[in-house]
Every structure is written in C-alpha cells, then in structure tokens.
Amino acid sequence: MATTLVHPVADIVYPESDGNPISDHTLQFEWITMIKGNLDILFADNSDVFVAGDLLWYPVEGEPKIRMAPDAMVVFGRPKADRGSYRQWMEGNVPPQVVFEIMSPGNRPSEMFGKLLFYVKHGVQEYYFYDPFSYDFSVCVRSEDGLGLDEVTFEGVWTSPSLGVRFESIQGEKLKVFQPTGEPFLSFVELEQRRRQLARERDAAVQRAEVLAERLRALGVDPDTL
C-alpha cells in the first residue's frame, strides 16, 4: 500500500523573490516608484496602513505557488513594517484592498487578465491599471455582490473611495494623479525641485525681512519691539 507523505505547513518555503525584475522599461519603473512613493507620503502618519511595491503576496497558507507581486499595493489595518513577503494568514487574513499594475512592453494581455482574475479571487477592492505608453487607464472596483471586480466608466475624473486619490484621465494624454489635498503626485526629482524652490523662497523672504529691519533701525525704530 502506497503511503502519501504530507509535509507540515511549517516546512513549506515561501520565496521572497519570483526571479522577475521589478520592471523592464525605465518609464514603467518611474511610474511604479512615483505611485508607491506618493502613497507612502499620503499614509506617512497612519501606522495602520501598509504600502508596498513589487512585494510577493501569498494569500493561501500552504500554497506557495499561489502568489502575486502587484506593482504597488495598499493594505488598510496592517502595521507598517519591513517584510520579505506578505503572507496573508500572518496578517490577520487581511488582503491588500488596493492594487496598481503598470503596463510594460513585455506584458501580454493574457498575463494582465490573469492578474485581474487573481485579484478578483483574493479579495482586492480596487484595481488600477495604467499603460504609460498608450495612456490607457482602467479602474475596477469590487461589485456590490462582492463576487467580482467591475470596470468603472467615468468621464475624465475618478476619485478612489479608499484612498481619496484623484485620477484625471483624458484620452491621448498622460494620466494625472492627485493627493486628496489636491497636490499632484510627483516624482522624486520633482519633489526635490519643489523642496529647493521652497528653500529659495524662504531664504529670499528672510533676506527681505533683514533688509527691512536694517531700514527700520536706520530710522531709529527697533524692529524687535514691533
């Protein structure tokens, strides 16, 4: 009589890499890092929102082949912490609620459809897909019956129910993304340029104040008493 060996769940290995690169095009990578970085900024003060990019998500314990690495994902109700992978059963069984996928020249339609089916099956509430080469932008949200992700039809502007992030998608134009405050999502270079500009404006304001103070002193007025 043949004996079937059953390995304990604890012995199962869940790799922290699938061997695939984060991206295969600089434009795709720029979008991935911009979205992930700006989501980090959005939830920087919320300790119970976990944001990750290209992190392997294992939704089912004991099934290491069932996995996906969204380009960016947001998990509400889970603490910020470094992780080698997101093993859902170790995270209170909370799945990522929001995921982003950025198209690359190497992606096939069948591959992207497979990702959609995975997200449908494993509890994603909002799925955003963007092709930075064709400017195609799609939004799918969990249906009212909870059984699927329905593509949303909208006229140019869509605001994420979970994130509060606003997307402006006009046919033939690059996607624009905004924080709930109205501030645009910016690349690291753009954020640094803005920081330097604000620093220059601050220094200029200080210099103007110093010049005014000197003029007041010349008139016999102590500016510190005003």
Query: Two tokens at 173?
Result: 């134009």
Residue 7 has pLDDT above 80, yes or no: no
Higher model confidence: residue 199 or residue 158?
A: 158
**pLDDT-derived band of residue 138, with 50, 70 and 90 as boundaries?**
very high
Classify 97 as helix, strand or coil: coil
- 11-185 placed in CATH 3.90.1570.20: yes
* Exposure string over 109-143, b if 16+ CB within 10 A, otherwise e: eeeeeebbebbbebebbbbbbbbbeeeebebbbbe
Please state the rounded mean pLDDT for residues 174-178.
Answer: 97
In the chain, domain spans? 11-185, 190-225
Residue 102 has pLDDT above 90, yes or no: yes
Q: What are phi and psi of 111, to 5 degrees?
A: -65, -45
Burial class (CB in 10 A: 0-12, 13-18, 19+), 43: middle
**pLDDT-derived band of residue 204, with 50, 70 and 90 as boundaries?**
confident
Classify 128 as helix, strand or coil: strand
Q: What pLDDT does 1 receive?
A: 46
**Rounded to an integer, what distance in angstroms lies between the CA atom of residue 169 and that of residue 138?**
9
**pLDDT-derived band of residue 10, with 50, 70 and 90 as boundaries?**
low
Predicted model pTM: 0.84
